[in-house]
Amino acid sequence: MIYIFDTELLENKLIHYSLQQIYGINKKRSFFICKKLGFSNNLKVKNLSKDQITELLKHIDILNLTLASDLKKLKFLSIKNLISIKSYRGFRRNQGLPLRGQRTHTNAKTARKKIL
């Protein structure tokens, strides 16, 4: 079992799908990483050697990406900042209403359910 950024990569999945499980890496970025490292499209996580794993970790580090818990913390602090400076978006966030001008008279039941 391989853990990268506190995320377990399932061994029977392809590497580019497993990389997408890491918070902050999307499909395009995972394909870019695999292509840059020369991984095959049908390479599974269980077939990775220790050298390939260390190369993968080094490459992610070189890209200087904000991932996993750091990204979640940054997102939370951004929301907290909007609330603390008493912006319109911060106020709407506190009220549990849509932030970007959507209609609320008949819609926005989903947005009202989401609170921070």
Q: Quick one: 70-113 is in which CATH superfamily?
A: Ribosomal protein S13/S18, C-terminal domain (4.10.910.10)
Domain boundaries, the chain: 2-62, 70-113
pLDDT at 114 over 70: no
At residue 103 the predicted structure's pLDDT band, cuts being 50, 70 and 90, is: confident
CA 91 to chain CA centroid, nearest Å: 26
Query: Cα separation of 4 and 19, whole Å?
Result: 9
* pLDDT for residue 87 is more than 90: yes
Confidence at residue 43, expressed as pLDDT on a 0 to 100 scale: 94
Q: Please say whether the beta carbons of 40 and 14 come within 8 A.
A: no
Q: What is the pLDDT of residue 107?
A: 80
Look-up of token digits 């399932």? 10
CA atoms within 13 A on the CB side of 35: 6
Predicted local confidence at residue 109, as pLDDT: 76
| CATH 1.10.8.50 is the classification of domain 2-62 | yes
Evaluate if residue 59 carries a pLDDT over 90. yes
Same fold, 2-62 and 70-113: no
